[in-house]
Structure formats: C-alpha cells, structure tokens
Structure 1
C-alpha cells in the first residue's frame, strides 16, 4: 500500500534557505573563479545597520580605499625621505656662506648697493663734465674701491655657497655677469694704479699703453658696471617681464628687419633708376638750354639737386625710403624728384608708403605683441604670480558676495536667505563679476552645501564658487569620464551576476517542478 502524497507545505524561512547551501557553495566557487563572491548575508533588521556589501563596492568606498592606499604610500615615502634627510643633515649641514646667501636680507642689501652704485656712477660722470680739471676726485676713488670690495665679497660668498652650481646652476648667467663686472672693476683699479705710478701721463710702462688710452679703457670699464643694474630686474616683476619680452622678440626683430630691408631694397632699385634717368635728362636740357627760361632752368636745377640728395645712389635711395616710413623725413619732399617723371611713379611711391606703413609695420607690431605675450606666459614665476593675483581677487569678490547675501551677519546662508537675495541686481552683478551663471537657486544651493547640512558657511561658499565659476575644466571632464567608466564596468558585473542568479533560479525551479510532477 503506497503512502499518500505528502501535502505541500508553505516553505518557512529556514526551509526556504535550507536546500540552497549546496548551490550557494557551488555558486561561491564559480563566483571566486570570476572574481566576486555571490554569497550575501540575510538582510534582517538586526544586520542592516552593520551590513557591508561584499559583492559590489560603491564609488565612495573604492575612492576611500584608493585614498587610503595613496596615504600609506605617501607615509612610507615620507618616512624614507625623513631618514634620508636625517642622515644627510648629520653628514652635511649648511655652511655659514650658504646660510648668508639664503637669507632674504642678503639679496636686499646687495640690490640696494647695486642701485646706489648706479647713482654713484651717474654723479661721477656729471661731476667730470662740470669739473674737467678735477674729474677724478678722491671721494670717487674711495667710492669705487669700496664698491669693488663689497661686490667682490658678494661674489666670493656666492662662490663658496654654491660651489659647482656657481657655473652650472640656475643663476649661472647672473653669476657670469657678476664675475665679468668684478674682473672689470679690478682691472680698472689696476689701470688707475698704473696711471698714478706714471705721473707724467705721457707714456705708460704697463704693456706699452699710453696714459690717454689707459684712461679711455678705465672709462669703458666704468660703463660696464652699469650693466649690473640688470640684476635688480629679478627682484621687480614688472621690469623683468618687460626685459624678457624684449629679449624674446629679438628673433622676430631680426627677421622683420630682413623683410623690411628686402622691401626697401626692391623699391630703392626701382626709384633710383627712374630718378637717374630724370637727372640725366635734366642735365642734358640744362646744358643745351634749348628754349628754356631762367625759371625753368632753376626749377630743373632744383629738381636735379633734390634728386641727387635723395636718390643719388642706391644707398641714398634706401635710406630715403626708410626715412619716409619711419618719420625721419617728410615723404612729400622725397616725392618731388618723382613728380617730374610722371604720375605713374607718384602712384607707385604712394603705394610703397601705404604698403609699408599699413601692412608691413602693423604686421610686425602684431608679431612683436604675440612674442611678448608668449614670453610672459612662458615665465613660470610670472604665471604663478598672475594666478595667485586672480585667485585673491576672486576670493575678495566672493567674500563681498557672501556678505551681501548674509545681511544678518550670522556667518551662514540658508536657502531662504539665498532665494530672497539671488534675484537682486547687486547679487547678480557680483555673480557675473566672478563668471558664475546662476539660473536655478535650489540646484546652486545644493552644490554649495557639500555637507548637506541645510546651510552654507563661508568656507563652503568660497570653495563652491571657485569650483563652479567659468566653464568646465579639463580635470572635471576627466574625472567625470573616469567615474563613468567605473560605473559602466560595475554595472556590467552587476547585470552578469543578476543574469547568473536568474539562470540558476530557473534551473532550480525547473528541477523542483520536475520533482513535484514525479512525486505525483
């Protein structure tokens, strides 16, 4: 007698999960082979507060893990660097000369000495013009010697502090300039001693140099010391920018001069031939005097004289043409010899003036401006200073905007306060001044409230406005692409897992349905 079929029972929580461990174990092995663990804890109420997902990770969790790993690497590197610094400090401590050179007072002191030395040289030159019989006063002699000793001391201190870097480091150009000037100063002192020893001044025993020639060399060396003023440029940002821009445009200047020379040379050949024919024709008419009045002869003589003055040779023609466009002479005077040759040459000369002044010179000016801008942008210190100045200006504007919105001076901005003030003309003007386009008050407020506290403090307001002003930065777009790539990858893993789970559920349900049919 067969037993009656068992009545189907409603699966309980324990029975429902009872037959699954075997499949879960298999799935776990398959999941580990694929790189993830599909066994999930039961989301009961007691475990919800401490639940940690094991199958998938959120972007925040991945970012925190990467940040923690980066912090650990940074800590390890800092520890290794600190050990190296401790060992290097134990083996090598800054010398006295290095401490002096690295002191800001050192640069300030010698910058002041450079300026006073330039003034001293100017006073000496003017005194020599006013008192030709006593141009080399003892005050100037002592002054030159004192400056020479001080600048030599500076050079030796820098040499002792920098060592090999004196000629190979970042300041090698300035160091070479200082070395040349100091050597010239000592050479000047040696020549003055030689002049003092040869009191007659007629013939020097020092390498056969005459006293007058020696005095000229001394004056040239004094002028060389004025070049030391260039070192002050490194302390003044505006002067350094102008100087670097001028130096940067030298290459463009050379090619601009070559282009202008070719243009002037081409037109010079043309006008020289024309005027030469006119001069030859006038000379022949004057010599023959065929039916010419006195006034006509005088006019032709004047035209011949002016033609020879401005177009007498190719060199004179080129100089006259350049002076016509550079303001050295009125081109109306240069045009007089060409008027006698016909109107076509007058039009050609006017075309040369228009082409040179309106086209060539303006293009050259534009090239110079572009070169100056590129020079300013390539100056690392100048770029950093410009960025800092712009950032400080924006921060000041944002603080004023925060004060304008926070009329109660509570230190925080609520959404109601923000919504009430956002449409005012003053606030809109402030937003436009910092390149912010606020079209939705609530969206903008949410972006500013980074801690989701319901109110915006001054720090959040500053950081938010600096982050949101202007167009999207390349870094913002790159971060968005990175997060989107991560999201697509995790979404693909999620759908793969869901599909696998649905497949196994289908297999299990088919198996259970078959077992139930067989039992019947």
Structure 2
C-alpha cells in the first residue's frame, strides 16, 4: 500500500523501487520519469544549467561591505544606519543634477573666478563626500580590507580628484595670483581638470541597487554577450555571402550601379537597408524589375538575416533576462531573510555562537518580525515549523547562511525536482528501515517472552 501511494504517474509499481542503490538512483535521475520528450528535457536542463551558472556568478561577485564593519563604535553605527544610506544616495543624485547645471551655465575654466553660487555648492559637495568616505573608512574592522572593496576604491579615487580640483588647485591658483593676472596655469590644463568632475557620474552606479530592473538589464547584457557575439557573427557571415553574390549578379545593372557596385557597398546596403528596414520596398521593387531571381534572393536574405537571426537574438536575450531575473529575485530574497535573521538571532542567541539550534529556532518563529519576513519571502511557515527536523537534517545547529538556504527550500513557488524526489526516497527508505528494525526488535522480544512463558508452564 505504501508503494502504491507514492508511485509516480505512468510508472509500474516496483517493490524494490524504494530500496535501490545510490548508483541506480544517480542513473535514474537522468531518465525521463515524467514521460517528457528528450528535447524538452534537454531544454529544461539547459535552463537549469544557465541558472546554476548565474547563481554561482552572483555569489562570487556579490560582496556585502557591512560584513567587514566593526560590531561596535560610532562610525559603524552611523554607516549601518538606514538614514545614512538614504542621505548618501540623495547626495549622489543631487550632485549628478548639479553637474548638468554646471555644464549648462558655468563657462569659467578657473573655479575661483566663477560665480559665488558655483563655488559654494562645489565646496559643499566636496565636504559632503569627504565626510561620507571618512565615516565608511572608520567603520571597517581592518582598514586594509577597504582596499578590497571595489566600490570604496572607486569612491576614494573620485574624492581624491574632487579634492585636487576644488581645494588644492584653488589654493595653488590663489597663491599664484599676481596683480590682474588670473593664473600662470595653461588654459588647456585648466579645461582638462574640468573634465575630471564628469567622472563623478560613476557614482550613479550606486543608485542602481534601488532599481533592480536596470541591474537585471545590465547584467543580462554581460551574461548574454557570448551568445550575442556568435549571433552577430552569423549575421555578418550572411551579409558577406549575399554581398558577394549580389556584387556579381547585379554587375552592369542599374540596381548594381546604385547599391552593389563594390563588396563594401553591397554589405553596407544589406546591413542598413536589409537589417534595419530602411527603404526596403524601393530596393525590392528595383530587384524584381531587374530579374525575378534577384528579387527572390533578396527576399530570402530578408527571411534569413533580419527576420530569423535577429529574432533568434531577441529570444536569447529574453531567456537570459528571464533566468537572471529569477536569480536576482532569489538573491534579494536570501539577503532580505539573512538581514532579518541576523537582527533577531543576535537578540535571541543565548550562547553567542552566531548559529541557530533547534531551541533558538522555536523562539525565532515566534517573533512577529520574523514571521512577517517569512511571509513576505513567500515561505510556508506552517510547513517550516512542522518539519523542523527536516530543516536541520540531523544537525544540532546551523550557521546563518546555511539556515537561510534551508529556509528557502520551503518557498511556495519552488518546483519539485528529481533531486527532491531522490531525497524523499532516501528519507523514506531510512524511516522504513528504522520502523522495520524497531519491529524486529519488538518481535524478537515478544518471541523471547513467549518462549520463556512456555518453559514456565
């Protein structure tokens, strides 16, 4: 009855299906247990492989600077405060707007000769970013680790350029003033220093974390760059082949003299006219008027290059963005759960070991803030509480990262995989063996008692 209850659809019942060896389980994981076609299995496995690679890439590239900060002190308290982050983001946004205002209305090459409003605002922004960088640097537990944070290094370079331009260069200009001569600096050098301020636009990258949609698009372009490159190579090959063909076939014709006189002109025409649909009706009409074969070849190029290859490129980008979006959502959910778990576990950690045991877990799920965070992350709290032993998997305690990873297995949107079925089979086999072992012990004990009772009577 137990075998009949858990058997998979469209599969015969096998009494030994629950008690196969690990080698048989690994070989069966590659079989089509759900009756799907081989092409569908390959497509899904390809998507899963892409998702796995993206998750590994995101895990390697994502670093949290807050983990490198002190646990005590005023600077780390300020750097960790949400209002500090909001103030920095507002400062970056206002500075980028000010750069546009400065480029539109400030024509002076020398800062000390500009209008007072520009001088005051530039000094305010410079002081703001110096203070912000000093607070972040003071919050690091080990100062040398700040140089390993790419974001901090970029901000450090931008602040150094800002100080050199606004403070140091202004002091040198004031020191070199003689009478009515404004400065002894080369005007070309002064104009070059003004270019440095536009490097501050790099700080806009820090604003991207508040717009995950843009982050997904940017990362999608990087992930799909290899597929895009080979798709464009295929497009270039088609343009090259058809360019040679039209160069020879349209020789000494009106359309050839106008559009296909040389190989470079043929490829130029096919690329801009054929791929970007610029003037296709006029060119197609001329090709058909010249000869029916030329018109047919041009239509075949349109079907192969812009309609097929470019749509393939769109399909590749859509698939990559879909998988990347799911990976980003999983990463954001893990970060959200990790932050809330750390805040609550820090208060409930009785032994101060930074881990979560079964007792701390029972107190953790009773906290309203943790329950709210689990619901927002789409975690099945009821199943999580009822299957606490499955969560710890026989271990006494889990680290914060392992605990968050185990919690994510209880998301309602998770789909069942072959790995889950095999894990369920192993657990069921283990429980069944324990039940049989207990029954054997009970039976042997009953037999011994019956034998002893028979000898007495």
TM-score bracket, shorter-length normalisation = 0.5 to 0.7
Q: Does 1:382 align with 2:328?
A: no
Show the counterpart of 1:315: 264
Show the counterpart of 2:137: 159
With over 3 angstroms needed to count, the CA separation of the structure-2 counterparts of 1:338 and 1:228, relative to structure 1, is same
Structure 1 Cα separation of the partners of residues 197 and 376 of structure 2: 44
Structure 2 Cα separation of the partners of residues 319 and 187 of structure 1: 48
With over 3 angstroms needed to count, the CA separation of the structure-2 counterparts of 1:252 and 1:167, relative to structure 1, is farther
With over 3 angstroms needed to count, the CA separation of the structure-2 counterparts of 1:367 and 1:232, relative to structure 1, is same
Residue-by-residue CA offset, 1:253-300 (whole Å, 9 max, x unaligned)? 33333333233223223323334x225xxxxxxxxxxxxxxxxxxxx5
Structure 2 Cα separation of the partners of residues 273 and 491 of structure 1: 83
Q: Determine which of 85, 101, 117 is the counterpart of 2:95.
A: 117
Q: Does 1:177 align with 2:177?
A: no
Assess if the C-alpha contact under 8 Å between 2:377 and 2:411 holds in 1. Answer: no
With over 3 angstroms needed to count, the CA separation of the structure-2 counterparts of 1:157 and 1:329, relative to structure 1, is same
Residue-by-residue CA offset, 1:451-493 (whole Å, 9 max, x unaligned)? xxxxxxxxxxxxxxx9999977876984675255333333245
With over 3 angstroms needed to count, the CA separation of the structure-2 counterparts of 1:137 and 1:346, relative to structure 1, is farther
With over 3 angstroms needed to count, the CA separation of the structure-2 counterparts of 1:305 and 1:181, relative to structure 1, is farther
Residue-by-residue CA offset, 1:127-185 (whole Å, 9 max, x unaligned)? 258xxxxx9533223322321222122223222222222122xxx22223212322332
Q: Does 1:327 align with 2:307?
A: no
CA shift for structure 1 position 366: 1.2
CA shift for structure 1 position 108: 0.9
Assess if the C-alpha contact under 8 Å between 1:195 and 1:201 holds in 2. Answer: no
CA shift for structure 1 position 245: 3.2
With over 3 angstroms needed to count, the CA separation of the structure-2 counterparts of 1:382 and 1:336, relative to structure 1, is same
Structure 1 Cα separation of the partners of residues 270 and 215 of structure 2: 36
With over 3 angstroms needed to count, the CA separation of the structure-2 counterparts of 1:157 and 1:493, relative to structure 1, is closer
Structure 1 Cα separation of the partners of residues 234 and 181 of structure 2: 51
Q: Does 1:306 align with 2:258?
A: yes
Show the counterpart of 1:39: none
Task: Give me the TM-score of the superposition, normalised by structure 2.
Answer: 0.56
With over 3 angstroms needed to count, the CA separation of the structure-2 counterparts of 1:508 and 1:213, relative to structure 1, is closer
CA shift for structure 1 position 367: 0.9
SS at 1:164 equivalent = helix
Q: Determine which of 252, 260, 285 is the counterpart of 1:278.
A: 252
Structure 2 Cα separation of the partners of residues 271 and 199 of structure 1: 71
CA shift for structure 1 position 214: 3.5
Show the counterpart of 1:450: none
Q: Determine which of 184, 188, 195 is the counterpart of 1:212.
A: 188
With over 3 angstroms needed to count, the CA separation of the structure-2 counterparts of 1:391 and 1:497, relative to structure 1, is closer
Show the counterpart of 1:82: none
Structure with greater Cα Rg: 1
With over 3 angstroms needed to count, the CA separation of the structure-2 counterparts of 1:314 and 1:385, relative to structure 1, is farther
Q: Determine which of 100, 109, 115 is the counterpart of 1:137.
A: 115
Deviates more, 1:193-202 or 1:226-235: 193-202
CA shift for structure 1 position 117: 0.7
Matches within 5 A, 1:229-378: 229-275=204-250, 277-278=251-252, 300=254, 303=255, 306-307=258-259, 311-327=260-276, 329-335=278-284, 338-339=287-288, 342-378=291-327
Residue-by-residue CA offset, 1:402-451 (whole Å, 9 max, x unaligned)? xxxxxxxxxxxxxxxxxxxxxxxxxxxxxxxxxxxxxxxxxxxxxxxxxx
Structure 1 Cα separation of the partners of residues 266 and 179 of structure 2: 51
CA shift for structure 1 position 386: 9.7
Assess if the C-alpha contact under 8 Å between 1:245 and 1:375 holds in 2. Answer: yes
Residue-by-residue CA offset, 1:191-238 (whole Å, 9 max, x unaligned)? 6777785899999865xxx413541x2343232212211111123444
Show the counterpart of 2:436: 491
Assess if the C-alpha contact under 8 Å between 2:216 and 2:325 holds in 1. Answer: yes
Assess if the C-alpha contact under 8 Å between 2:275 and 2:302 holds in 1. Answer: no
The answer for unaligned runs of 5 or more in structure 1 is 1-91, 130-134, 280-299, 399-465, 514-520
Matches within 5 A, 1:472-491: 478=423, 481-491=426-436
Show the counterpart of 2:75: 97
SS at 1:94 equivalent = coil
Show the counterpart of 1:147: 125
CA shift for structure 1 position 111: 0.6
Q: CA RMSD in A?
A: 4.4
The answer for unaligned runs of 5 or more in structure 2 is 1-69, 108-112, 338-371, 382-409
Residue-by-residue CA offset, 1:48-105 (whole Å, 9 max, x unaligned)? xxxxxxxxxxxxxxxxxxxxxxxxxxxxxxxxxxxxxxxxxxxx86233222211222
